Amino acid sequence: MIKLSVNVNKIATLRNSRGGDFPNVVKVSSDIQDFGADGITIHPRPDERHIRYQDAYDLKKIVTTEFNIEGNPISKFMEMVLEICPTQVTLVPDAVDAVTSNAGWDTIKHQSFLKEIIAEFKLKGIRTSIFIDANLNLIEAAATTGADRIELYTEEFATQYGLGNKKAIQPYTKSAILAAELGLGINAGHDLSLDNIQFFAENIPNLSEVSIGHALITESLYLGLENVINMYKYKLSMASKQ
Ligand SMILES: CC(=O)[C@@H](O)[C@H](O)COP(=O)(O)O
Ligand SMILES: NCC(=O)COP(=O)(O)O
């Protein structure tokens, strides 16, 4: 069974927008696990605009499923991950000012850097994954770094699939086949959603895990709206009766 790791960045975005602690990231993450998710993913960014480094420490205490921390391995990030020892670290080459992740690693150019830091995480028993485009040359190079897994960067697939171009899956399928041949596990993420997840999963052999945040939280809002509006209407109608 393919694992679903829920990215809770957007819960932290909502919390931070009011400066308080509502919604509480730890409580929501705990509930997400109770509702059946197989893991919690966070992607703290250097400006801590959503997930704060402290959230990572707080979450470590309650995550009973798989804890996946994503990010660019700058020294502050490295120190935090090595201290927390999550189940998995996913290395993402984000620019500091990136709105969201917008590229996978150039594993050819950064091969020796990746090798070095992956070795550090391995010493601590942390599973390592490299965020990567569906490109066979880059996947071959990824296999030489010692990484346990790759995370296929799925934005291009999601965009094309939304436009009706189902052939956009092909490079991902080929990448997954090669990755498995090279002994790499396969994760995937970015812009996966209720619309595209089944088709994606059906066409990616050996897929171990998907991490989903933006669409999943948005869909949860939509699917919950009717229910919550009716709950408010009920409360207001009760108050009017008094
Ligand atoms: C690596 C990846 O695709 C996700 O972590 C995504 O970038 C979420 O980050 P934001 O929530 O900051 O957009
Ligand atoms: N690794 C991808 C992730 O955690 C969530 O990406 P998105 O669903 O927010 O695009």
Query: Residue 195's domain is classified under what CATH number?
Result: 3.20.20.70
User: pTM of the full predicted structure?
Assistant: 0.97
Task: pLDDT band for 126, please (50, 70, 90 cuts).
Answer: very high
Task: pLDDT band for 173, please (50, 70, 90 cuts).
Answer: very high
Who lines ligand 2 at CB under 6 A?
7, 41, 43, 70, 151, 189-192, 211-215
Average pLDDT across the chain, whole number? 97
Q: Is 55 helix (H, G, I), strand (E, B) or coil?
A: helix
**Cα-flanking dihedrals φ and ψ of residue 222, to 5°?**
-60, -45
Mean pLDDT for the stretch of residues 140-168: 98
Segments forming the whole domain that contains residue 163: 3-240
Domain tally, the chain: 1
Model confidence over 84-107: pLDDT tens digits?
Answer: 999 999 999 988 888 899 999 999
Q: How far apart are CA 128 and CA 23, in angstroms?
A: 30
Model confidence over 188-208: pLDDT tens digits?
Answer: 999 999 999 999 999 999 999
Spell out the residues 6+ positions from residue 202 whose beta carbon is closer than 8 angstroms to its own.
none
Q: Compute the half-sphere exposure of residue 103: CA atoms within 13 Å on the CB side of its CA.
A: 10
Q: Is 43 touching ligand 1 by the criterion CB < 6 Å? A: yes
Spell out the residues 6+ positions from residue 218 whose beta carbon is closer than 8 angstroms to its own.
10
pLDDT at 95: 87
Nearest atom of ligand 1 to the alpha carbon of 43: 5
> Is the pLDDT score of 242 beyond 90?
no
Which residues does the annotation place in the binding site? 7, 18, 45, 50, 100, 191, 213-214
Q: How far apart are CA 60 and CA 86, in angstroms?
A: 7
Mutate to test the pocket of ligand 2, among 211, 216, 218, 219 (most ligand atoms within 8 A of CB): 211
Q: How far apart are CA 161 and CA 165, in angstroms?
A: 5
Task: pLDDT band for 227, please (50, 70, 90 cuts).
Answer: very high
E strands along 17-126, which residues? Answer: 39-42, 66-71, 88-91
